[in-house]
Amino acid sequence: MSQLSPVDDTFRARLRALLPEKALREDMDPYVQELRGAYRGRAGMVVAPGSTEEVSSVLAAANEARVAVVPYGGGTGLVAGQVMPEGPAPLILSLERMTRIRRVDAEENVITADAGVVVEELHRAAEGVNRLFPLSFGAQGSARIGGALASNAGGLNVLRYGNTRELCLGIEAVLADGRVMHTLTRLRKDNTGYDLRNLMVGSEGTLGVITGAALKLFSRPTRRATAMLVVPSPAAALKLLALARDHAGEQISGFELISGESFRFLEATLPDIRRPFHPAPDWMVLTEVGLSGTGDAEGMMAGILEAAFEAELVTDGVIAQSEAQADELWHLREAIPEANRAIGAISSHDIALPLSALPEFIEEGTAKLADLGPYRLNCFGHLGDGNLHYNVFPPAGEAKADHMGAKRAIMDLVHDLVAGYDGSFSAEHGVGRLKVEDLERYGDPVKLEMMRGIKRLFDPNGILNPGAVLRAED
Amino acid sequence: MSQLSPVDDTFRARLRALLPEKALREDMDPYVQELRGAYRGRAGMVVAPGSTEEVSSVLAAANEARVAVVPYGGGTGLVAGQVMPEGPAPLILSLERMTRIRRVDAEENVITADAGVVVEELHRAAEGVNRLFPLSFGAQGSARIGGALASNAGGLNVLRYGNTRELCLGIEAVLADGRVMHTLTRLRKDNTGYDLRNLMVGSEGTLGVITGAALKLFSRPTRRATAMLVVPSPAAALKLLALARDHAGEQISGFELISGESFRFLEATLPDIRRPFHPAPDWMVLTEVGLSGTGDAEGMMAGILEAAFEAELVTDGVIAQSEAQADELWHLREAIPEANRAIGAISSHDIALPLSALPEFIEEGTAKLADLGPYRLNCFGHLGDGNLHYNVFPPAGEAKADHMGAKRAIMDLVHDLVAGYDGSFSAEHGVGRLKVEDLERYGDPVKLEMMRGIKRLFDPNGILNPGAVLRAED
């Protein structure tokens, strides 16, 4: 691989000649910051092309000049995939001007959009034709669909509708040398060769720049019933999920685990958010069924609850009596990350486990952490997907700064344990730059070798998001 | 790429030393035949390893000796991916002895199996724990799951549950040089690097040999309602689908288009199969809703029908009054391919179209075919997926043999038209050897270049299923 060069005046002049004035961004500061403040990126220039053709010429120029390119969506990634703190000053390629919804096919349940469309805009466009675009996560008001695809974002609706990957039918992407892969089909079935769409999805900007996508829409569930339930243990929560599925099949829209610690953190940092159950129970589940047509969602939820009480899987619970109450329960769930940030975690983990291993993992993890020190643990998240946010905090009353020395030990403890249960050290956030070492440590070595080969094939000069996912090669 | 060598005595001796006696197959004849009889494969040796380790040593030996390897599942593929008619006599690697179901995790809805397990065995294992494994197609009694994954098989349940690709959580695969990729996770979420699972799925044995997989299970819909409905046109059928979804959401398990010609072919060749509606209407839809728990499937279907009659989307219909009647309607649908084979198609096409383009495509296709000659057309299939089986037959009373000269013209007409509507020339059967030229003609050229690069990366000596998907390189 050839050496990368920093953006220099010659390169800047080259891009200024290629792009219209409005594609140039003078203020580079917003693009080098990162939500959690753990990284600060470098930048030699920021451009925001307005079309696939412009993205293509920018990449061709960067590839020729061996200038690193950091593709940039909404900047909401949590693993530093969008900031490059080391190496020769890169070009930041923002998709913020590619915000056209290309077409909405309501009858066929497809929306086709530029990569720069904000996720929430897709929600609105779908709503406009009485459809649902289900991708839903905290940052949906600023995250762009190209970034969500590049990182295969998850969120609150994965249980029912899948990750971003499963929502994508076709993709248009520009390769490192500027060639455009025109595979933006709206087809539900297409067995014509290797699946390069899914190779691009989740590649975190290291194999190409996604410029457009065709995405699935769904019928809007018109009746929903939402409940927050107290469960005796995570094992009971899993049995409750199986029971709920026997009643409702795929119509369970959400199944979130909430810990007592979540409630205590909310009480301490966001006391205005109303919480049911006092004192806070150890474990709760927030669940929702969503039905189409004239289905009786409340009756279904009542049936689930009755059976669950009978089976002693639930000991207490509230069912939302109005849309406002349902929204309030979801708001509580969505506020947990904010409470966590206010408390300040020593180490946060976005892990996945085989569902049946979850209860044992939680038990063993809690015991092993206690051996390490009197840390507080907030373990919550997308239980139905086997995806926990497993965050470790300093003891009550102590400062985070005094415990950062334990971060690596905590992280290794958690990730080693996860690996022992055949789990994943990154369920939905990706690898980015934060977890490159974890991938090297826990990834299958043959898969890693083939990944490196694919990186060299798609990006022989290594210009695309160097250092993300895979260590930059010399 | 180096030249391939035929299986010779030295190589045979090598494999005999590597494998136990029971892994050797003396009768090679069944492995070189093909269902439709259009191809006859070559074979220098047939082996059936009993474990992933044995598959690994066989591939390492073949790679070293530059012997071509044709991976073999149930032999039911329809595009000659499993038979190699040209080139030096290959080794056929059958998965027929790897038939172990490794584990069934009912609570987490996962089944993990060797690649040689027959699809119907997976159905039975799932039923045994009150779960559904939804992959369902005509050849399910002999097709093996490894082949279904390698070809990303579709079938009757794709509308609700997705293709084989969407049913797969993790994969174990042996690469051309014998290295094993251990990525057999049971996780619902795992964003740790490039998606090599989906690269293997649908690669038709040209990038590696799948030896095991973890697959999704589902709650069994306990209540179903099945109906065959007469619709005025394909456009009305699509509106009916949207209407049905407004009522039933994702609980529509099937939505199949059936043509009047299908009925006439059944009458001529399988008269014992009972058909509703006399004379045969031009267009019908077979649909089913499947509900969990105590849901009222019949009431839901009745609601759909009432609204559909009201909207003039349906003019006549029968709702099955018993499980036996429902089975009978599905049996009718599943017998259509057999009737087609008895009549004898000049050219069969497994095409996909964007749903909204379907009605216009059918109209234009019918007109253009009529210009070409007085052919009969049987257009039927998985309408909900946009996937039509679009088969062209000789005029009534005339012999197929007298019209085979028109095959290429018919195929080009159909595939050109499909391409014009941004459709696919292979929706669910794959490319195999039958459609290599079509892929070269209609595939995106950049995608094709990258596919060739990936092939060279995974299989530098070109031993894996040469000539399938991509033309063998010299």
For the segment B342-388, what is each residue's pLDDT rounded down to a tens digit? Answer: 999 999 999 999 999 999 999 999 999 999 999 999 999 999 999 99
Q: Mean pLDDT over all residues of chain A?
A: 96
Q: Sheet of A376-382: strands edge to edge?
A: A316-319, A223-230, A283-291, A252-259, A376-382, A387-393, A350-352
Which residues from chain A sit within 8 angstroms of residue B201, using beta carbons? 195
Q: What is the 3-state secondary structure (H, E, C) of A401-464?
A: HHHHHHHHHHHHHHHHHHHHCCCECECCCCCCCCCHHHHHHHCCHHHHHHHHHHHHHHCCCCCE
Q: Mark yes or no for CB contact A196/B439 under 8 Å.
A: no
The band of A35, judged by pLDDT with boundaries at 50, 70 and 90, is: confident
> How many Å apart are CA B202 and CA B254, to the nearest integer?
23
Predicted complex ipTM exceeds 0.90: yes
> Which pLDDT does position A2 carry in this prediction?
57
User: B62-95: string of b/e by CB count within 10 Å (b at 16+)?
Assistant: bbebbbbbbbbbbbbbbbbbbbbeeebbbbbbbb
Q: State the best of B130, B131, B191, B356 to mutate against chain A, taking most chain A CBs within 10 Å.
A: B191
Give me the pLDDT at residue A1, please: 44
Residue A443 to chain B, least CA–CA distance (Å): 8
Q: Among residues 83-112 of chain B, which lie with CB inside 8 Å of chain A?
A: 105-110
Return left, alpha or beta for B172; rule: phi > 0 is left, psi -120 to 50 is alpha, else beta.
beta
Q: Does B75 touch chain A (CB under 8 A)?
A: no
* pLDDT tens sequence across A156-175: 899 999 999 999 999 999 99
Angle at A172 between CA A206 and CA B364, to 5 degrees: 160
Q: What is the spatial distance between Cα B413 and Cα A377, in angstroms, rounded to a whole number? A: 64
- Per-residue H/E/C for A258-295: EEHHHHHHHHHHCCCCCCCCCCCCCEEEEEEEEECCCC
Classify the phi-psi angles of B171: left when phi > 0, otherwise alpha if psi is within -120 to 50, otherwise beta: beta
A219/B453 touch (CB, cutoff 8 Å), yes or no? no
For chains A and B, CB pairs below 8 A equal: 291
Q: How far is CA A371 from the centre of its chain?
A: 31
Q: Show the tokens assigned to B226.
A: 């099945």
| pLDDT at site B1 | 45
For residues A154 and A382, is the Cβ–Cβ distance under 8 A? yes
Asked if A284 and A230 count as a contact pair (C-beta separation under 8 A), the reply is yes
Give the angle subtended at the CA of B371 by the CAs of B369 and B373, to the nearest 5°: 75
pLDDT band at A474; cut points 50, 70, 90: low
Burial A104-116 (b: 16+ CB within 10 A, else e): bbeebbbbbbbbb
Residue A36: its pLDDT value, please?
Answer: 76
Chain B hits for A352, CB-CB cut-off 8 Å, are 187-190
- Residues in B closer than 8 angstroms to A155, CB to CB, are none
pLDDT at B474: 58
pLDDT in tens, A41-63: 999 999 999 999 999 999 999 99
Q: Is the pLDDT of residue A251 over 90?
A: yes
CA of A465 to nearest chain B CA: how many angstroms apart? 14
Tell me if residue A359 falls in helix, strand or coil: helix
Judge: B427–A110 Cβ closer than 8 Å, yes or no.
Answer: no
Determine the residue of chain B that is closest to A244 in CA distance. Answer: B293
Q: Which residue in A214, A215, A216, A205 sits closest to A55, CA to CA?
A: A205
Report pLDDT for B36.
76
Note which residues in 218-257 of chain A have CB less than 8 A from chain B: 218-219, 221, 238-239, 242, 245-251
DSSP for B18-58, written as a single string: HS-GGGEES--HHHH--TTSS-----SEEE--SSHHHHHHH
Q: Show residues of chain A in contact with B444, CB under 8 Å.
A: 181-183
Chain A nearest-CA distance from B396, in A, is: 32
Q: Is the pLDDT of residue A207 over 60?
A: yes
The answer to whether the CB atoms of B443 and A193 lie below 8 A apart is yes
B207 chain-A contacts, CB cut-off 8 A? 194
- What is residue B192's three-state secondary structure? coil
Output the pLDDT for position B236: 98
Residues 292-331 of A with CB under 8 A from B: 292-295, 300, 303
Q: What CA–CA distance (Å, rounded) separates B439 from B354?
A: 19
Question: Taking the CB of residue A402, how many other CB atoms lie within 10 A of it?
Answer: 11
How much is the pLDDT for B293?
81
How many angstroms separate the CA of residue A192 from the nearest CA in chain B?
6
Angle at A130 between CA A125 and CA A131, to 5 degrees: 70
Question: Comparing C-alpha atoms, which of A24, A10, A28, A86 is closest to residue A54?
Answer: A24
A9 touches chain B (CB under 8 A): no
Measured distance CA(B180)–CA(B236) in Å, rounded: 50
Structure confidence at residue A442 (pLDDT) = 97
Judged by CB atoms closer than 8 Å, whether chains meet at A245 and B427 is answered as no
CA atoms within 13 A on the CB side of A282: 11
Cβ-Cβ contacts under 8 Å for A28 (sequence gap 6 or more) = A43, A45, A46, A92
- Considering Cα of B424, then B425, then B430, then B436, what sign does the dihedral take? negative
The segments of chain B whose pLDDT lies below 70 read 1-2, 474
pLDDT digits (tens, 9 = 90+) for B154-191: 988 999 999 999 999 999 999 999 999 999 999 999 99
Residues A73-91, mean pLDDT to the nearest whole number: 96
Looking at residue B79, its pLDDT comes to 94
Q: Which residue in the block uniquely carries the two structure tokens 């089976």?
A: A311
Contact criterion met (CB below 8 Å) for A165 and A201: yes
C-alpha distance across the termini of chain A, in Å:
6
Q: Are B254 and B156 in contact (CB under 8 A)?
A: yes
Residues of A in contact with B353 (CB under 8 A): 187
pLDDT tens per residue across span A371-418: 999 999 999 999 999 999 999 999 999 999 999 999 999 999 999 999
B195 touches chain A (CB under 8 A): yes
User: Considering chain A, what percentage of its residues have pLDDT values greater than 90?
Assistant: 95
Structural domains of chain B, ranges and CATH numbers in brackets = 9-96 (3.30.43.10), 101-219 (3.30.465.10), 223-420 (3.30.70.2190)
Q: What average pLDDT does range A291-310 have in this prediction? A: 93
Measure Cα distances from A24 to A16, A18, A33, A58, A244 in Å. Answer: 8, 11, 19, 12, 53
Rounded CA separation B45/A158 (Å)? 46
| pLDDT at position A82 over 50 | yes
pLDDT tens profile A114-159? 999 999 999 999 999 999 999 999 899 999 999 999 999 998 899 9
